Each structure stands twice: as structure tokens, then as C-alpha cells.
């Protein structure tokens, strides 16, 4: 894409693992925006010479078929979802430099309808915000995130997306204020709808924002507060361990990694071991946040 890609929340490695444990799953739109075509792409340009050429033709046929259905039934959700998936798959087959704003606009159109038809499912609105951010429509992305947070203030992916957007605009104070307000209102929100705001996850995200600004004492303080709130939750322990490691305090980090490993559910233990053993350097990060799953790990 022509515009510089937004970097995700932090410039340090802890963002990848810590936020992954907040409760997330990767969705097709992420792969579509960042996929690099296979090495045999050049040979695939010859008609009929490779399965990828046939697949592209089939996908284009699917797109036309879904479009015909939607001309008759504009709110047919099966067709909208099929159209979205087909266009995402076509988008994923393009090299990064080949993706044009019009390609992403083609994804935005069904997303807008699906978000409107399914207001109770924030995933569509989040994907819509991500897509708008990709084409440089930051105000449109912000509006989409705000529409979710107005009714679901604890929606983790909307929070993460809005925070990432604010940081990309060099507005860390606004990102911190958003998260602090969310924490201030968490108790009341959870009285109205129990479990609607995962305060520990929000604290971890807040600490990560402080870390992104290299405000390490404040980040550590936020992680410590989260640990005190729930000593059995491995996420703030892991976050603090990774922060210490990034500062070169490997010896101090090791017992925290061990504690996080002991507290974490089985499915995260391998990743924690890899994180603890990995070099202290920031990997490449995705430009948009993935969508949260319905069950946040504890």
C-alpha cells in the first residue's frame, strides 16, 4: 500500500506475547492485508499453468455470483459473508505493492452492511475500522471504534484498535486517558453486565502503552497493580517479566517468567517458554489488531 503502515502498540517484544494472551484470535483480514505471495507467483501468471490461476478464476466467479444475489437481496447475509471471504482471499493473493485502496474498498462495502445488520457482533465493526485505517481513513476508523465502545466499553479489540490508532497519531496521552477511563468505569459496567470489562486485560494494555513510550517505571507500577488485583492471573506477571527482559534485567525477569508459566493455562506454556528464551529484540508487528475471542484466558 502507498501509505506507511501503522506500527502496532509497542516497539518492544512484549506487545506480541502479552496482548496475544489478553484473549485474541487472528482473522482473515489480517492475512489479507499482510500476505506475501508464494515464490512461484511468476509462473502462476500463465493461464492454466498453475492451480493458483484456476483458484483466482473461481474466486472471481464467486464474487460475481454473490454480487448477482445481492442485487436481488441486498441484505442476504450468506451472500455478504461469501462475498467478503472471496474478496479477502483475492486480496491475500496480491503482493503488498499491488494492493490498491480500491481493493480494500471492495472489502469495506460488505463489512459496512454486515456491521449494520449485526450490531451485537462487534467483530464486523472492528474489521471495518481496521480496513478504513488501511486506506488512511483514520476518522472513519475512529468513528467505527467509538461506535463499539459506546455500547461495549470493555470490548478488548475495539480498545486495542483505538489505542493503536491514537498512538499512530502521536497521541499517547489520549490512549492512556481512554484506558484509564475504562478502568474507572469498569466496576459500574460489570455491575450492569458481569464480566463485560476485563480490568486485568485493560491494565496490561495500559502498561504496554506506557512501555511503548519508554515510561518503564509507570508501566511496572501498572503491572504491579494488576498483579495485586489478581495474583493468579498470569498475564500481568508475564508482561512485567518481558518488560524487565527488554531492559536487560534478565535475572530479575526469570522468576517472573517461571511464575507466569506456573499460572498459565496449558495452551500458553510453550509460547511463554519461547518468549522467555528468545533474544530481546522487537519483531515485525502487524499493522492492525486481531479480533478478540469470546473467552478471555485467565
Three-state DSSP state, 3: coil
Q: What is the mean pLDDT of residues 127-145?
A: 89
Q: Please classify residue 161 by burial: count the beta carbons closer than 10 Å to its beta carbon, then call 0-12 exposed, 13-18 middle and 19+ buried.
A: buried
Do 176 and 143 belong to one domain?
A: no
**Of 104, 123, 151, which closes a domain?**
151
172: CATH: 1.25.40.10
Q: How many domains does the chain have?
A: 2
Instruction: Classify the C-alpha dihedral 180-11-201-292 as positive or negative.
Output: positive
For 38, the 3-state DSSP assignment is coil
pLDDT above 50: residue 290: no
Shared-domain flag, residues 163 and 288: yes
- The answer to the question of residue 58 being in a domain is no
The residue out of 101, 129, 151 marking a domain boundary is 151
For residue 133, is it within any domain? yes
224 lies in the same domain as 176? yes
Separation of alpha carbons 103 and 87, rounded Å? 8
DSSP letters spanning 138-157: HHHHHHHHHHHHHH-TT-HH
Residue with cell 484506558: 179
pLDDT tens-digit readout, 161-208: 899 899 888 999 999 999 999 999 999 999 999 999 999 999 999 999
What are the grid coordinates assigned to 115, written together?
Answer: 456491521
For residues 115 and 16, give the distance between their C-alpha atoms in angstroms, rounded to a whole number.
27
pLDDT at 116 over 60: yes
How far, rounded to the nearest angstrom, does the alpha carbon of residue 76 sit from its chain's CA centroid? 27
- Domain limit, last residue, from 108, 124, 151: 151
163 and 145 share a domain? no
How far apart CA 237 and CA 252 sit, in angstroms, is: 12
Domain for residue 52, yes or no? no
Tell me the pLDDT band of 38, cut-offs 50, 70 and 90.
Answer: very low
Residue 244 structural domain: 1-22+154-292
pTM tops 0.85, yes or no? no
Domain presence at residue 184: yes
Domain match, 15 and 68 both: no
Output phi, psi for 292, to 5 deg: -70, 145
Q: Are residues 173 and 286 in the same domain?
A: yes
Tell me: pLDDT of 21 over 60. no
Same domain, 281 and 166: yes
Amino acid at each position: 500500500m502507498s501509505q506507511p503502515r501503522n506500527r502496532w502498540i509497542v516497539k518492544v517484544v512484549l506487545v506480541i506475547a502479552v496482548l496475544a494472551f489478553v484473549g485474541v484470535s487472528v482473522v482473515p483480514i489480517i492475512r489479507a492485508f499482510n500476505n506475501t505471495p508464494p515464490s512461484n507467483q511468476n509462473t502462476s501468471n500463465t493461464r492454466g499453468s498453475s492451480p493458483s490461476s484456476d483458484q483466482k478464476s473461481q474466486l472471481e466467479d464467486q464474487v460475481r455470483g454473490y454480487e448477482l444475489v445481492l442485487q436481488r437481496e441486498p441484505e442476504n447475509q450468506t451472500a455478504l459473508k461469501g462475498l467478503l471471504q472471496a474478496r479477502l482471499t483475492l486480496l491475500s493473493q496480491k503482493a503488498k505493492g499491488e494492493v490498491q485502496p480500491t481493493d480494500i474498498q471492495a472489502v469495506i462495502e460488505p463489512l459496512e452492511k454486515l456491521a449494520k445488520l449485526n450490531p451485537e457482533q462487534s467483530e464486523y465493526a472492528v474489521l471495518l475500522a481496521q480496513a478504513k485505517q488501511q486506506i488512511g481513513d483514520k476518522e472513519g476508523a475512529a468513528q467505527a471504534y467509538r461506535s463499539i465502545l459506546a455500547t461495549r466499553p470493555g470490548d478488548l479489540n475495539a480498545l486495542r484498535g483505538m489505542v493503536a490508532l491514537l498512538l499512530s497519531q502521536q497521541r499517547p496521552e489520549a490512549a492512556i486517558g481512554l484506558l484509564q477511563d475504562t478502568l474507572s468505569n469498569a466496576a459500574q459496567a460489570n455491575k450492569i453486565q458481569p464480566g463485560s470489562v476485563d480490568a486485568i486485560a485493560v491494565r496490561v494494555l495500559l502498561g504496554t502503552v506506557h512501555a511503548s513510550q519508554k515510561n518503564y517505571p509507570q508501566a511496572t507500577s501498572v503491572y504491579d497493580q494488576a498483579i495485586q488485583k489478581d495474583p493468579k492471573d498470569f498475564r500481568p506477571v508475564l508482561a512485567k517479566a518481558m518488560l524487565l527482559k527488554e531492559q536487560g534485567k534478565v535475572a530479575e525477569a526469570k522468576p517472573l517468567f517461571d511464575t507466569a508459566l506456573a499460572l498459565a493455562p496449558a495452551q500458553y506454556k510453550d509460547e511463554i517458554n519461547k518468549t522467555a528464551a528468545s533474544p530481546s529484540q522487537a519483531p515485525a508487528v502487524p499493522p492492525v489488531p486481531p479480533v478478540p475471542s469470546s473467552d478471555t484466558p485467565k
